[in-house]
Structure 1
Amino acid sequence: MVSCRLLRHAHRTAPRDRLRFDGWIAGVGTASGTRLVLGHWVRSPFGAFDDVMIERPDGHRLLLAPTRRTARFIAGTYSFDEVRVVPVRVRVSPGDGWAVTAGPLLDLRFTVGRRGPAGLLLRAVPGALAGSPLWTLVTDLPARLLLGVRTRGTAGGGRREWYGARDLRPITAATAVLAGRDLGALAAVRPPVRFGFGSTPHRPGLVRVTTTVGVAGHRP
């Protein structure tokens, strides 16, 4: 079976020019029109770190990253109009509440709800298979049709990228203050953000994901 062959491939050692990031991506829209994408990475070539990508209603794209190394790598993979290096911290409470701060610029808080059918389906896929770039051959078309997102494509600087989703939960409430301004109530992530080849689902949500970035000759 195709899935069995993919699972065997998934257990092989990743090529040296492919970098893996394991963690969560949260996509949040606001009534003001500003959209925010949080990356909460528990394992990566840079160690554990967090970053936030922000697109304002006028299209201005801002990256908030914790170190120059992570900022340089992310800005080489995605497109931004402005990059700032600030401490980015995430706290997760037992009640599924997330609190995100990025220096004095951003205070984001959101609550995660119970997973639906899509989340249950993603959790049923073996982790090694779900995180394999080969699995995106299977998931890319359904993701486009059902969620309006892509799971594979060409990133900045000639890099390639694969998103292996492993869980999906809705975000049910959120507040965000950016540079002292309240961004308003939780809303859909519309229009889609324009950092890379794909956006997050238009419904605010938290995705557990293994992201693989192909960068020939790169060493973090």
Structure 2
Amino acid sequence: MTRWRFDGEITGVGTGSGVRIVVGHWSRSPLGEFTDVMVEHADGLRVLLAPSDAVRDFVTATYTFDRTVITPVHYTRSGDSRAVQAGDLHVRFEVGARTLLGHLLNLVPRTVAGAPWFCSVSDPIARVVLRGVRTRGTAGNGRREFYGAVDQRRLAGMSATWCGENLGALTPVDPPVRFGFGSTPRTPAVTTIVTTIVD
């Protein structure tokens, strides 16, 4: 049994054009520090933007896409601002106040919140309270995956373009994205997370 642990942030964004974007920025992982971006278009086309073959191969072994693109993915942060450039996609978002869920998550020690057993216990609650969000599930190729959220902040603003086209205003992530067994929260937010994948 192999356990892969990823520490980072997942940002879920909805846009007025119907494009939904999920940015994963991983500060610590078995693949080093990296950022990957999952995009689902209004017509349902699911695209992965990955910075390397290694990241693409790992992510596509766990999630489902219609198309993958290897391209430099640049993630920058300055205060509460974040910017992502990945091929045809440019996204900038502002991180706002901590959510009520974020305050509750802060009460749980990080070592507990990230533990697979705790993710298993919290999964039924997340399904009901967060609509579509899962904290455990079966990933691709028989893998099991556990999401341990430790903080969450809402997004205060966003701008994004795809192939130079403005994607519109910030909206809820609706309908839910379909990359794996769960979606991101419906309300646009950045969630600090510990992800464990058991192979």
Q: Percent identity?
A: 52
Secondary structure of 1:193 counterpart = coil
Deviation at 1:137, TM superposition (A): 2.2
| Residue 27 (structure 1) aligns with | 12
Q: What is the alpha-carbon root mean square deviation over aligned residues?
A: 0.8
Secondary structure of 2:151 counterpart = strand
Bigger Cα Rg = 1
Runs of 4+ in 1 over 3 A off after TM superposition: none
Task: Report the Cα distance in structure 1 between the residues aligned to 2:154 and 2:183, rounded to whole angstroms.
Answer: 16
- Counting only pairs closer than 5 Å after superposition, residues 9-158 of structure 1 correspond to structure 2 as 17-94=2-79, 96-103=80-87, 105-148=88-131, 149-158=133-142
Alignment length, in residue pairs?
A: 198
Deviation at 1:81, TM superposition (A): 0.3
Deviation at 1:214, TM superposition (A): 1.2
Point out where structure 2 has 5 or more consecutive residues left out of the alignment: none
Point out where structure 1 has 5 or more consecutive residues left out of the alignment: 1-15, 216-220
Higher strand share: 2
Deviation at 1:23, TM superposition (A): 0.2
Deviation at 1:117, TM superposition (A): 1.9
Secondary structure of 1:77 counterpart = coil
> Could you tell me the TM-score, scaled by structure 2's length?
0.97
Question: Aligned letter for 1:202?
Answer: R
Question: Aligned letter for 2:124?
Answer: L
Higher helix share: 1
Q: Deviations over 1:82-118 (max 9, x none)?
A: 0001011111111x01111013x11100111110221
Q: Of residues 204, 208, 217 in structure 1, which corresponds to 2:188?
A: 204
- Counting only pairs closer than 5 Å after superposition, residues 187-202 of structure 1 correspond to structure 2 as 187-202=171-186
Task: Report the Cα distance in structure 2 between the residues aligned to 1:83 and 1:116, rounded to whole angstroms.
Answer: 33
Question: Aligned letter for 1:173?
Answer: G
